[in-house]
Chains A and B, each alone.
Chain A
Amino acid sequence: MNSRANSSPTSRWGLRVLGLGYIAVLLVAPLILLFYKTFEKGLAPPWEAITSADGLHALKLTLITVAIAVPLNTVFGVICSLLLVRHRWRGNWLIDAVINLPFAISPVVIGLCLFLLYGKNGWFEPGLAEAGIKVLFSVPGMVLACIFVSVPFVVRETVPVLQEIGTEQEQAAETLGASGWQTFWRITLPSIRWGVAYGVVLCTARVLGEFGAVSIVSGHITGETQTLPLFVEQQYQNFNLPGAFGAAVLLALLALVVLTAMNLLKRKEAA
């Protein structure tokens, strides 16, 4: 789009300096500095930090949380969106509100909620202890925290797309003899795929980077309950800067991959 014909060059350049300057100082400069600092002394220090036993374990645990939380929230998100959009029900507003709750709650508070529910005086403590299942300060608790914080993403990206495509295509499929499942797999899902994919990307980004909630329930046991973000913080607090920067750069690179995916999907969706 062209700039407005009647805006003066002065005001246009003023706006550019203001807006782009703000982004440069706030977003771009720190990111560049991170890469510079990490590779200042070559590739070896960050590489060693990431490939250390603790670093690799943190990476593995991060991927495990993603592998569990993202598919669960994706399946849930698609079912929930279909319910919200296609089935009028009195309780829909409540479901809607609860889905958005994680946006309103501080990650620390989410961590505390799980800490209290599964902790030593929690409601589930007796049963879990008997069954020998450890939730708090171990992987299940961290996965639960990741699922909690990333519940809304797929639903929120899928609902508008479902609303937009309407039901005519599905009705057409029915008149052509397609059953409910056939209509879902052949018509509905392909029509909303880019919206769902966008939600999945956002969900993945959030789970990859979740810090506060996971931090509270993890118990900070090095080599056991440390995801990459927790690893970054611990390395920093221990003054092992190459380790912190190495892991941070890895996370930042993943973030850039996510950004690229977001932009590609947005274009697909618009097409």
Chain B
Amino acid sequence: MGISVDGANKSFGDFQALDDVSIEVPDGSLTALLGPSGSGKSTLLRAIAGLETLDAGRVLIDGEDVSKKPTQKREVGFVFQHYAAFKHMTVYENVGFGLKIRKWKKEKIRARVDELLNLVQLPGLADRYPSQLSGGQRQRMALARALAVQPQVLLLDEPFGALDAKVRKDLRTWLRNLHEEMNVTTIFVTHDQEEAMDVAGQLVVMNQGRVEQSGSADDLYDKPANEFVMSFVGEVNRLGDDFVRPHDIEIVRDRDDSTEEAMVQRIVALGFEIRVELMLADGTEVWAQLTRGELQRLELREGQIAYLRPVHAKSFNGSPPSNPRGASTPHGSPDGGDAGITAAA
């Protein structure tokens, strides 16, 4: 079932959460809504589920306008960031809740719940209470609960946000496999671009209530529509009006017309990858990403003069920087360094 949102607007008081948002989600796809806090991605997801009412615009599921339909009738599976586990019910009762509401017979419920608990790899935990489960188990229970009623679409709101890094990575792979198996149109919200690129086939980048760009991970990384997208999906340096990824900065020993002079400030070895921080003559700080081999070949030392040659530099003239947090910093990923470095690698 394809989903489309058409001209969605939503304000909370003075705050415009959605500003004329339109997206297309193809049938059977796995789509990520990616953006920083306050970008409107969760509001959009909740509007698709009917948990928020749009001020203007339409939501279509499988071509049908569901904007006036209450949540109960939209047949969406929704997974909340904090699981929203029914604390007073066992795992079994949680997963069977939607079926009980639909007045299924007891034996049928039992069979369906068992099937789902196997699917989410929680067999044997049916009689536990949510408080007796780990975070990852609770999230999988919430997913089983959403899938039990055979929803037309599956919506996940920061599904791994509250989990620790290791569990998060496991669940990503697992979600991707699950999607392949179930083939339900799935949208999930995240602020982690690595997670989005890892899991989703299609990404929608949102910022300040607007869609900045949508496309595949490669599209966004290689052909970003603007400075915001470029800096959000990877590390970036700013050189005048140009933007360049750290691995697209070449360092050479001899100057020519295409190079700029810079002083090596600091060399940081991060395993296989080397981070070289440099300062240009005009005081601009940039950093380049090299491999260990390249560094050895160049024989760079801190305090030494080197020459830079940006390859694949991009300029977005006419589009003013929309991200106030700035691509101008050398550590330009809005979501913190660790994720950015891996993504750029």
Contact = CB atoms under 8 A, between A and B. Distances in A.
Interface in B44-58: 49, 51
A177 B78 contact: no
**Which residue, A168, A175, A177, A190, has most C-beta atoms of chain B within 10 A?**
A175
A227 to B, nearest CB: 37
A182 B71 CA distance: 14
A222 interface: no
A186 B97 CA distance: 9
B90 to A, nearest CB: 13
A178 interface: yes
A138 interface: no
Contact of A176 (B82, B85, B87, B101): B101
**Which residue, B87, B97, B102, has most C-beta atoms of chain A within 10 A?**
B97
Given A168-B84, A169-B84, A175 B51 contact: yes
B76 interface: yes
A173 B49 CA distance: 12
B145 interface: yes
Nearest to B86: A169
Interface string A44-84: 00000000000000000000000000000000000000000
Contact of A177 (B82, B84, B86, B101): B101
Interface in A152-191: 168-169, 171-179, 182, 186-187, 190-191
Contacts of B317: none
B101 A175 contact: no
Given A168-B82, A182-B101, A174 B71 contact: yes
A175 B49 contact: yes
A174 to B, nearest CB: 4
Given A169-B86, A172-B86, A187-B86, A177 B102 contact: yes
A168 B149 contact: no
A175 B88 contact: no
Nearest to A187: B86
Nearest to A169: B84
Contacts of B102: 177
Nearest to B75: A177
Contacts of B76: 175
Interface string A177-213: 1110010001100110000000000000000000000
Contacts of A175: 49, 51, 71-72, 74, 76-78, 146
Nearest to B46: A171
Contacts of B84: 168-169, 171-172
A133 B308 CA distance: 98
B2 interface: no
Interface in B80-121: 80, 82, 84-88, 97-98, 101-102
Give 9 closest A-B pairs by Cβ, nearest first: A176-B98, A168-B84, A172-B84, A175-B78, A174-B71, A190-B88, A177-B101, A177-B72, A178-B101
